[in-house]
Every structure is written in structure tokens, then in C-alpha cells.
Amino acid sequence: MHNEKKIHIVLWQPKIPQNTGNIIRLCANAGAELHLIHPLGFNLKSSKLKRASLDYSDLTIVREHGSFLEYTDSFPKRRLLGTASSSNNIYSSIKYTQNDSLIFGSEDTGLPDEILSFLTVEKLLRIPMRANNRSLNLSNAVSIVLYEAWKQSNFNGSKST
């Protein structure tokens, strides 16, 4: 088993296979693991997911969990950071570590109250948007936060330029 610490991207009940496929490719390129909380709105063998992830599925770890509790029980020592448009904490204002789990809600509802109440206020993050806008595309939101976390580690593991 691979022992390198990696940031975990945790998607709670994602519904759109293309978003998850893009996030698989993103995780492969940024050195993160992807964790999917069931139920999913698609089959992992979906042609739309495969098309979006290209051939990157073999370059990252993708794990499935039956529930959020199953995920937290499997990784009890990780710091959990959730995203919520109602948070006052801007995603770039915290110091990330390789022991972080970045939790994102489904495309249509975001994170449910059961997960939001599990996290303390200081562990909820917000991506700023223009006034009167509701949300970002899930794969865009994940890329913004994941790349900030990776930037803070000086892009550890990236190829030399």
C-alpha cells in the first residue's frame, strides 16, 4: 500500500459523471486521492465519466464509501474541511496540509446539514463569487481549492519546468 500522505477530495453524492471524470483527471494531475460518497448519480463505468477522465483513472486512487460516516471511520485522523457558500472563511485564508480532506457537496444541493453540523465553523470554507450568483460548477470549485492547497506545498511532486 502506498504510504505517501495526499490530500483527499471527498465528493458527497455527486450526480454528474462528467464532473467526476474531470475531478479524477484533476486529482491525478495534482497528486490527490478521490473519495466518492454513495449514492452516486451515475455508474462508475459510465461512458461520460470515462470520456471526461480520459485515461487518468489509473493515475490516481478513487475509492467509494457507502456513507460519510464510513469515510470518517476509515480516516479518523484527517482534518475535515467542507465547502459552503454561507461560510465566512475564504478558502485561501487557511494553511492546508497533506492530511486534509476537502469535502464538496453534490451539484444540486451542496453539503447536507448532517455534514455541515459535523464540521465546526472554522472548518467550513467559501469560494468568493459575485453577488447574486448561486454556485460554481463542482469540478471548477474542486480545482480552485485543490490548487490552492497544492500551491501552499510549493507544488510538491510536480515536474520541473
Please state the pTM of the whole predicted model.
Answer: 0.92
List of the chain residues with pLDDT < 70: 1-4, 52-54, 160-161
Question: Directed axis angle between helix 17-30 and helix 138-152, to 10°?
Answer: 10
State the pLDDT at residue 134: 79
Q: Is residue 160 part of a domain?
A: no
Q: What's the rounded Cα separation, in Å, for the pair 88 and 128?
A: 10
State the pLDDT at residue 12: 97
Helix (H, G, I), strand (E, B) or coil at 101: strand
Q: What's the rounded Cα separation, in Å, for the pair 159 and 148?
A: 17
Q: Is residue 44 part of a domain?
A: yes
36 - beta bridge partners? 11, 64
Closest CA to 153 of 31, 46, 40, 62: 31
How many domains does the chain fold into?
A: 1
Q: Is residue 158 part of a domain?
A: no
Q: Is residue 123 part of a domain?
A: yes
Residue 41 structural domain:
8-128+135-152
State the pLDDT at residue 1: 42
The Cα angle at residue 64 between residues 46 and 58, in degrees rounded to 5: 60
Q: Is residue 157 part of a domain?
A: no
Q: Is residue 62 part of a domain?
A: yes
State the pLDDT at residue 54: 65
Q: Is residue 3 part of a domain?
A: no
CATH number at residue 69: 3.40.1280.10
What is the DSSP track for 30-77? HT-EEEEESSPSS-TT-HHHHHHHTTGGGGS-EEEESSHHHHHHHSTT
